[in-house]
Amino acid sequence: MSDSPRTSVGIDFGGTFVKLGVCRGGDLLETDEPIPTADFNGPAALIGEMAARVAKLQQKYPDICAIGVGVPGLVDFEHGFVHILTNVPGWKHVPLKAILGERTGLPVVVENDANAMAWAEFRYGAGRGLQNVVALTMGTGIGGGLVLNGKMYRGTGCAAGEIGQMSIDCDGKAGHYGNLGALEKYTGNKEIAEHAVQRYAEAHITKTLEECTPKKIAEAAKAGDDIARQVWDEVADWLGTAISSIAWLLNPDAFVIGGGVAQAGDLIFDPLKRKVQSMLSTVVWERLQILPAKYSNEAGIIGNAALAADAV
């Protein structure tokens, strides 16, 4: 892995759009128009459009050396094989690395999207200069990525880092896989909104889910709403329980937290740090950092481009 900047393409594959960009080091040089996934019937047509977009970018950046693609699902990193994309019809058992590589003539890396975010933060973001970084991205679900001893840790089946599936309550809510107390069943965007609606109802105040998004709850808390502050304290308790367990297991340099929930700033980070400190020994806590992510919507493009450039 070299720090000399190389030019590469990052592709961030979402359920609605595929976003492409050209990066050099941690700098995003240019983005292309997003590709709507619904406009293409099946993987072959969509991969063909990706290849065409890359070819167009190559005309302006002939030094592009590789392509990195991040997908929201389970992948076989070694073979660049997508097992399944639950939000995009037809994407099941797709050899994405082989097809896109053949179409473009470039080396291709295929990665889980949360791992790509983790690599962006480790290489060029909040975790730059550290060796052991745990990244969380908090949105509809909770994704995670592990960088240990300066390397991405993927696990035996390339499924490591699924922090959202960790249990914070052995008798709690059922997760997608039958795992009780799964973190994302408490701290996903929808779950936070549902919890806020419940807390307001207990105070005889009627609120809709649309009025209780994390963004609006943060605005209310900053305006002095005690119920909204209580919600953020409870979210910090849940998240802190998971982070403390990971800290005992891995003893990392830092947790880097991104996604919509992180935009609440001190409302989440202050009680979160207090919670985590209360559950750790001084040996584990004294050198631990809990940091907001540097990158926002561009994390996927930058992380995938960096993974690709670092692999060649």
pLDDT of residue 1: 61
pTM for this predicted structure? 0.94
pLDDT of residue 88: 84
List the structure tokens of 140: 């509809």
Q: What's the CA gap between 71 and 18, in Å, rounded?
A: 9
Could you say which DSSP state residue 33 is in?
Answer: P
CA torsion, points 169, 136, 185, 251, in degrees to nearest 10? Answer: -10
pLDDT of residue 165: 94
**pLDDT mean values, one per 10 residues, the chain (312 residues):** 82 92 95 93 94 96 97 90 85 95 97 96 97 95 96 94 95 91 96 97 97 96 97 98 98 96 93 98 97 94 97 91
Q: Kind and range of the H or E element at 70?
A: strand 67-71
- Closest to 95 (Cα-Cα) out of 104, 111, 82: 82
- 74, 143 contact by CB (below 8 A): no
pLDDT of residue 218: 97
pLDDT of residue 176: 85
Q: Kind and range of the H or E element at 103?
A: helix 96-104
CA angle 202–207–212, rounded 5-degree value: 105
Beta bridge partners of 174: 180
pLDDT of residue 294: 96
Residue 123 has φ and ψ, to the nearest 5°, of -80, -40
Q: What's the CA gap between 190 and 272, in Å, rounded?
A: 20
pLDDT of residue 204: 97
